[in-house]
Amino acid sequence: MMQPPSPPLPEVNFEHLRLLSIFYYVLGAIYVMVALIPLIHLSVGIAIVTGVLHSPPDTIPLGWMFIGLAAVVVIVGQTYAICMLLTGRYLAAHKAWKFCYVVAAVNCMNVPLGTVLGILSLIQLSKPEVKALFSRNQSASKLMMDG
């Protein structure tokens, strides 16, 4: 059974979504690099634990602390960077509105660039015509999978 055609959408400024997408890609790439900085601490921790630095035995717990904290920071940072890159992709494809909205809200905590990008994203994503565009693309992709 064929669906009736959807009514035309109000004018959406696609340029804003495209620019937001580019900014998410750029900031995501920066976060990928910044999240790799703790690898230095990880290396120092491994060197302490393995004895490469010829440190006294009572510093081994310090080495494990370096390893643990650095590993957690790298994993969390890379996960956040991947979320930023995915948001850029989803904004360009006009899908996953909830994911984009949540990442934009979380992004507001990253002062100053993340705050600016997050607020601009929340403003754009809150517009009814943008919500309609995202929901229209989501329902079209569901139809393609079902049919």
> Over the stretch 118-136, which tens digit does the pLDDT of each residue have?
999 999 999 999 998 998 8
Assigned domain for 4 exists: no
User: Which of 45, 51, 87 is CA-nearest to residue 66?
Assistant: 45
Is residue 139 one of the residues assigned to a domain?
A: yes
Q: Are 53 and 47 a contacting pair, CB within 8 Å?
A: yes
- Total domains in the chain come to 1
- Does 42 map to a domain? yes
Give per-residue pLDDT as tens, 68-77.
999 999 999 9
The answer to whether position 7 is within a domain reads no
- Which uninterrupted H or E stretch holds 145? helix 128-146
102 domain residue, yes or no: yes
Q: Is residue 31 part of a domain?
A: yes
Print the domain residue range for 136: 14-146
Read off the pTM.
0.83
Tell me if 87 is assigned to some domain: yes
Instruction: Judge whether 61 lies within some domain.
Output: yes
